[in-house]
């Protein structure tokens, strides 16, 4: 999602659906940090696998859509995420390529959610936090909800920001660069403010989900940390404010 990952001799390489995949060592380290449980290495292993599956599905969405339009994309997994190499298509093809990643993640979220509902009705004992199935479902729900929703925020360099950029450049090309940055500032700033609210009101969730939809599972377990997202989007907001000032200085 951010920057390019240089190749190393420790990269893991394989093909998936005919698409080359390269996993940088930092992906494993950052994923282990995200799911770390020092008391149970087995849970860390399962958590890393859930992160791997979630990020791969997201990037496969981008890559498969790019291949549909004739571009031989490659997937690279890097720090807490990854990217699928792409090229410039027409506006609506670019929009579809950008949207395909989050939509693939939401599709996996939906599949995991309906599996959870089935188990909650028929095999509730499998959903305890001590059971590998229950633990895996929590991580898959968390990763695919968080990853997809965050990526749909209309702020560059996120997928939602790329979609907004394509539409603005297509429908209002004059002064598009400034408007794209303004959208990024407004959206990242709004997420920051919501994060601050959630920090000061523990009963609020970053991604509001009615508890009734998750019987037997506290909704807080699949919520991103508001402090992390406030810092993350705060950094993006500050970067775009600097970009905006630079663009203004050119006019």
Per-residue pLDDT of the chain (251 residues; tens, 9 = 90+): 556 778 889 999 999 999 999 999 999 999 999 888 777 888 899 999 999 999 999 999 999 999 999 999 999 999 888 999 888 889 999 999 999 999 999 999 999 999 988 888 887 777 676 778 888 998 999 999 999 999 999 999 999 999 999 999 999 999 999 999 999 999 999 999 999 999 999 999 999 988 888 877 888 889 999 999 999 999 999 999 999 999 887 76
What was the pLDDT predicted at 1?
A: 53
The answer to whether residues 202 and 246 belong to one domain is yes
The answer to whether residues 89 and 7 belong to one domain is yes
DSSP state of 72: -
The answer to whether residues 163 and 70 belong to one domain is no
What was the pLDDT predicted at 6?
A: 83
DSSP state of 213: G
Q: Are 73 and 62 in contact, with CB atoms under 8 Å apart?
A: yes
Q: Of 103, 108, 170, nearest to 140 (Cα)?
A: 108
The answer to whether residues 159 and 186 belong to one domain is yes
The answer to whether residues 158 and 186 belong to one domain is yes
Q: Are 104 and 60 in contact, with CB atoms under 8 Å apart?
A: yes
Question: Last residue of some domain: 100, 125, 152?
Answer: 152
Q: How far apart are CA 199 and CA 114, in angstroms?
A: 30
What was the pLDDT predicted at 201?
A: 96
- Domain tally, the chain: 2
What was the pLDDT predicted at 150?
A: 95
Write out the H or E segment, with its range, that includes residue 20.
strand 19-23
What was the pLDDT predicted at 178?
A: 95
Whole-model pTM: value is 0.91
The answer to whether residues 25 and 126 belong to one domain is yes
The answer to whether residues 121 and 160 belong to one domain is no
Enumerate residues 6+ apart whose C-beta is below 8 A from 234.
188, 192
- For 12, the domain range is 1-152
What was the pLDDT predicted at 31?
A: 94
Bridge partners, residue 15, by sequence: 20
The answer to whether residues 135 and 159 belong to one domain is no
Question: Last residue of some domain: 93, 128, 152?
Answer: 152
The answer to whether residues 175 and 205 belong to one domain is yes
The answer to whether residues 110 and 204 belong to one domain is no
Question: Last residue of some domain: 126, 152, 178?
Answer: 152
Furthest-apart CA pair in the chain: how many Å?
64
Q: How far apart are CA 9 and CA 19, in angstroms?
A: 20
Q: How far apart are CA 93 and CA 120, in angstroms?
A: 40
């Amino acid at each position: 999602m951010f920057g390019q990952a240089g190749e190393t001799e420790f990269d893991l390489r394989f093909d998936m659906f005919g698409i080359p995949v390269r996993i940088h060592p930092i992906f494993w380290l950052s994923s282990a940090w995200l799911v770390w449980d020092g008391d149970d290495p087995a849970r860390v292993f399962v958590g890393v696998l859930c992160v791997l599956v979630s990020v791969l599905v997201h990037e496969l969405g981008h890559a498969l859509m790019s291949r549909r339009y004739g571009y031989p994309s490659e997937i690279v997994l890097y720090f807490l995420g990854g990217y699928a190499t792409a090229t410039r298509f027409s506006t609506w093809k670019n929009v579809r390529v950008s949207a395909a990643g989050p939509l693939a993640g939401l599709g996996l979220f939906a599949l995991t959610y309906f599996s959870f509902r089935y188990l909650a009705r028929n095999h509730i004992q499998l959903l305890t936090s001590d059971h590998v199935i229950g633990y895996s479902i929590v991580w898959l729900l968390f990763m695919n909800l968080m990853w997809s929703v965050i990526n749909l925020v209309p702020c560059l360099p996120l997928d939602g920001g790329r979609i907004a950029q394509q539409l603005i450049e297509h429908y209002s090309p004059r002064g598009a660069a400034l408007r794209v940055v303004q959208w990024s500032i407004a959206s990242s700033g709004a997420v920051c403010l919501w994060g601050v609210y959630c920090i000061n009101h523990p009963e609020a969730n970053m991604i509001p989900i009615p508890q009734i939809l998750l019987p037997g599972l506290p909704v807080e377990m699949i919520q991103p940390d508001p402090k992390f997202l406030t810092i993350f989007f705060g950094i993006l907001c500050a970067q775009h404010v600097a970009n905006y000032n630079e663009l203004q200085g050119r006019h």
